Amino acid sequence: MYKIVKKKSLNPTVTLMEVDAPLIAKKAEPGQFIILRVDENGERIPLTVAGYDRTAGTVRIIFQIVGATTEKLNHLNEGDYIQDFVGPLGVPTHTDGLKKVCVVGGGVGCAIALPVAQKLHEIGCEVHSIIGFRNKDLVILEDEFKACSDKFFMMTDDGSYGEKGVVTAPLEKLIKDGENYDMVITIGPLIMMKFVVKTTKPYNIPTTVSMNPIMIDGTGMCGGCRLTVDGQTKFACVDGPDFDGFKVDFDEAMKRGAMYKPFERHAYEETCNLFKKEVE
Amino acid sequence: MPNMSPKKAPMPTQDPNVRNKNFLEVATGYTEEVAIEEAQRCLNCKNKPCVNACPVHIAIPDFIKEVANGNFAAAYDVISQSSSLPAVCGRVCPQETQCESKCVRGIKTEPVGIGRLERFVADWHNAQENATVNKPQSNGHKVAIIGSGPAGLTCAGDLAKKGYDVTVFEALHLAGGVLVYGIPEFRLPKSIVQKEVDTLKQLGVKVETNMVIGRVISIDELMDEYGFESVFIGSGAGLPRFMNIPGENLCGVYSANEFLTRTNLMKAYKDDSTTPIMHAKKVAVVGGGNVAMDAARCAMRLGAEEVYIVYRRSEEELPARKEEVEHAKEEGIIFKLLNNPVEILGNEDEFVTGMKCIKMELGEPDASGRRRPVEIPGSEFVLDVDAVVIAIGTSPNPLIKSTTKGLETQKWGGIIADENGLTSREGVFAGGDAVTGAATVILAMGAGKTAAAAIDEYIQNK
């Protein structure tokens, strides 16, 4: 059992938790993920590590309430325990030798883009950050991004905060203005990452994407997380979750991600009923 | 006077048309009377060929003699000297190619039902309320076991009995490895695995779940920082193999590992499980091994109307145990033999709508000695299915190899170990599927047992 030592609501649908898991905290690196099970009958879900404190022995997760499991997780409070918490899994984001990087985050993906930006900043890399949200109410981690970025851009779909528009607009402008990035690292919804790749490809800027497919064991046993990269089947849990964005088949990944939609919707509604909450 | 009946006492089973709709155990087990009667078929012959044909060398005639005399507790003691998991082995061992294949009674008639008797003895023991085990005196030496499948549990049990301080590290949230995620409830009830694990805990074995060795702690750290004098790697089978045909990533195509893990470990067949699984109406399972049979029979129990086994060779070459094939047939699984998938077809949402296959015929024998299947040109047809399960094997997990310096592996990824399980690293032993590639529970147990003896010798001579 793993104790929740801190819980904070970042916006109405996104929650931050710090979980007591000293062994994982000791080893975790940006880009890696954990798998958790809320309770005895719970499903296993992957969440990318949003931070860690090696001295305090805690791992930070930030999740959006999208279904039954995250709804149940959000009902736990400081002092409560998570049944299972395993990691760090996957290959850390490659940061060695990078001198200038643009980090592009979208929505709750910003939570996992942040430790990558922080790590790059720490190793002396010039960091430009572009983060995007649907609207002002959903904005998270703005100050944290500002603190580790040499240039910072805030975008909202409806213009209620920062600039109005999508994250690829400032990205394209920066590239056109002659920023020579060693790499663009993007983490967010599949559709956003697909368009980031579309933006960088004509300029041939290496682009890393972080894939978050459906998983069960997360250790390279079930193959549920497979995706097509450069025409070959890869497993996000052991080969990823980071991949070369130019080579990922996003359309297939989106279809696979929707495989259990009706089931998930039903489970979410049941859980909401349980907690007497309005279904979003 | 031995019982000279030419046939084994039949194993009572649930009716096929009842059991193919539930996950309860198929075979219900011998009663005491039937067990005694079957045990009396053993001639207690001088050469005991069955013992050598058992990978863990159980003193088979000795335990059977105790059963024949009604001394079930004594029978259990005999078995447990050699096997840490008798209730498991009695159910899933391929006795027909091991102990029973060498039984003298089997030359002219059916061999003694050794597996059924082993199962009876273990179940009898587990049903006794005061069945406890004495914790041996500690010898103060620490050994780490990676993986809690049959190899790891056996190795842990043998070492614990010798007084070692054993810790088993399991990556999943539950101990048992393939015994809990792979083999279905109806063939091996999970309560039995739990009981075996509990017995090991009574012996003093510590089980640490949620520990992915290689990521959270490396093998070097286990030895240098955590004080383990020796490590046994029993991490099991790894990444599922696919056929590399078009359509394999469509929604509704599962690896057998995923399909079985969702069903067994995550209990997707239960209404209160939060893990989803497709309840497909027509399912094709590709492959002919025990895992394929398990997947097909699970699909049937999840409510499929038609379940096919699609296998490229003929019935004779099916690698699955005969009993599993028979059970599958009784339950209504349709065998599409000498058929090979060439493409999985999907709709615009990329859900499976069918599987294109080609008919095969058997040609000349190949390297494996089996006749090689050859395509019959122009014989393609489409099998109408809405889910496909690929059960064509696995390749070893790269995690331990990539995080352990100096650990040599085969080209295909299997850990290289000598006949005692010793790897290229001092003090590091390995066994089971991680070494051999996909094999059976009992072979993994045999490897765990051999390694335990070698680890004991290594530590005592250090």
Q: pLDDT (tens digit, 9 = 90+) per residue, A107-127?
A: 999 999 999 999 999 999 999
**Per-residue tokens: A175:** 């590239």
What are the DSSP calls for A203-239, one per residue? GT--EEEE-----SSSSSSS-TTEEEETTEEEEHHHH
Mean pLDDT rounded to a whole number for chain B: 92
Distance CA B343, CA B358 (A): 10
pLDDT recorded at residue A279: 58
Query: What is the distance, to the nearest Å, from the Cα of residue A256 to the centroid of all Cα atoms in its chain?
Result: 18
Cβ-defined contact of B215 to A226 (cutoff 8 Å):
no
pTM listed for this prediction: 0.91
Q: Which of B87, B110, B158, B104 is nearest to B5 (CA)?
A: B110
- Residue reference for tokens 């091991």: B98
Chain A CB contacts of B267 below 8 Å: 41
- Report pLDDT for B173: 94
**What pLDDT digit, counting tens, does each position of A47-64 carry?**
999 999 999 999 999 999
Distance CA B34, CA B11 (A): 9
Collect all residues of chain A within an 8 Å Cβ-Cβ radius of residue B261: 216-217, 221-222
Measured CA to CA, the distance from residue A117 to residue A111 in angstroms comes to 10
Q: Which of B223, B247, B243, B248 is nearest to B233 (CA)?
A: B223
What amino acid is encoded at A107 in this protein? G
Question: pLDDT of A67-113, one tens digit each?
Answer: 889 999 999 999 999 999 999 999 999 999 999 999 999 999 999 99
Chain A positions in Cβ-Cβ contact with residue B398 (cut-off 8 Å): 220, 238
Distances in Å between the Cα of B318 and the Cα atoms of A217, B89, B246, B292, B414 are 29, 21, 25, 10, 24
Do residues B428 and B407 touch, judged by C-beta distance below 8 A?
yes
Residues of B in contact with A217 (CB under 8 A): 171-172, 181, 261
Token reading at B277:
């699984």
Which residues of chain B approach chain A closer than 8 Å at the C-beta?
A: 171-173, 181, 209-212, 215-217, 237-240, 242, 244, 248-249, 251-252, 254-255, 257-258, 261-262, 266-267, 272-276, 278, 349-350, 397-399
The answer to whether A86 contacts B258, with C-beta atoms less than 8 Å apart, is no
- What was the ipTM of the complex prediction? 0.90
Mean pLDDT across the stretch A190-216? 94
CB contact under 8 A, A41 and B249: no
Q: Kindly report, residue by residue over B151-198, the tens digit of the pLDDT.
A: 999 999 999 999 999 999 999 999 999 999 999 999 999 999 998 899
* pLDDT tens track for A168-184: 999 999 999 999 999 99
- pLDDT band of A278, cuts 50, 70, 90: low
Contacts of B244 in chain A (CB under 8 A): 233
Q: Which residue positions in chain B have pLDDT lower than 50?
A: none
How does pLDDT run across A132-153, given as a tens digit for each residue?
999 999 999 999 999 999 999 9
pLDDT of residue B279: 86
How far apart are alpha carbons B101 and B342 in whole angstroms? Answer: 37
A→B contacts (Cβ < 8 Å), by residue, are 23-24, 27, 37, 41-44, 68-69, 83-89, 216-217, 219-224, 226-228, 233, 235, 238, 252, 255-256, 258-260, 263-264, 267
pLDDT in the model for residue B131 = 65
Nearest by CB to B240, which of A23, A223, A263?
A223
The rounded Cα B353 to chain-centroid distance in angstroms is 32
Distance, in Å, from the CA atom of B438 to the CA atom of B394, rounded to the nearest integer, reads: 7
Give the HSE-up count for residue A33: Cα atoms under 13 Å, Cβ half-sphere: 29
Start-to-end C-alpha separation, chain B: 52
Give the pLDDT confidence score for residue B270 in this predicted structure.
Answer: 83
Q: Who's near A64: CB < 8 A, 6+ residues apart? A: A13, A14, A70, A107, A108
Burial track B313-352 (b if 16+ CB lie within 10 A, e otherwise): bbeebbbbbebbbebbeebbbebbbbbbbebbbbeeebbb
Nearest to B292 by CA among B389, B157, B425, B401: B389
Residue A280: the pLDDT is 54
How many Å apart are CA B11 and CA B24, to the nearest integer? Answer: 15
Burial class of residue A145 (count of CB atoms within 10 Å of its CB; 0-12, 13-18, 19+): buried
**Which residues of A fall within a CB distance of 8 Å from B347?**
none
* Alpha carbons B123 and B90: distance in angstroms, whole number: 9
The pLDDT of residue A272 is above 80: no
C-alpha distances out from residue B151 to B154, B163, B228, B300, Å: 5, 19, 19, 30
**Are B38 and B32 a contacting pair, CB within 8 Å?**
no
Does A259 sit within 8 Å of B212, measured CB to CB? no
